[in-house]
Structure 1
Amino acid sequence: MGYGLLAAAIAAEVAGTTAMKYSEGFTRLWPSLITVLGYLLAFSLLAQTLKTLSMGTAYAIWAGIGTAAVAAIGVLFMGESGGVAKVVGIALIIAGVVVLNAGGAH
Structure 2
Amino acid sequence: MQKELELYEMLYLVDPSFTESELDSKTSFYRDFLISRGSQVMVQNRGKRSLSYKIRGCETANYIQMIYVGNQKLRENLNTTISRDSSVLRHLTTKIPKLPEVL
Q: Tell me whether the two structures share a fold, i.e. TM-score over 0.5.
A: no
| Structure richer in strand, relative to its length | 2
Higher relative contact order (CA 8 A, sep 6+): 2
Give me the TM-score of the superposition, normalised by structure 1: 0.30
| Structure richer in helix, relative to its length | 1
